[in-house]
Structure 1
């Protein structure tokens, strides 16, 4: 379970980073963290 949770977190982080990069120009603070 621990490993699965870690994997999920990493995937979410990647997705967040991707979304951040895509929306940085129009909305730099879509996700404040």
Structure 2
């Protein structure tokens, strides 16, 4: 269980990062595939 939590945290950070990046691209009128 000790090794499970870091993966969840990293996965969440990556997901939030990608979501924020996609929104940033859209806000700059760049087409996202």
| Count of residues in Structure 1 that have an aligned counterpart in Structure 2 | 25
Structure 1 alignment gaps of length 5 or more: 29-33
TM-score w.r.t. structure 2 length? 0.68
The structure that has the greater radius of gyration is: 2
RMSD: 0.8
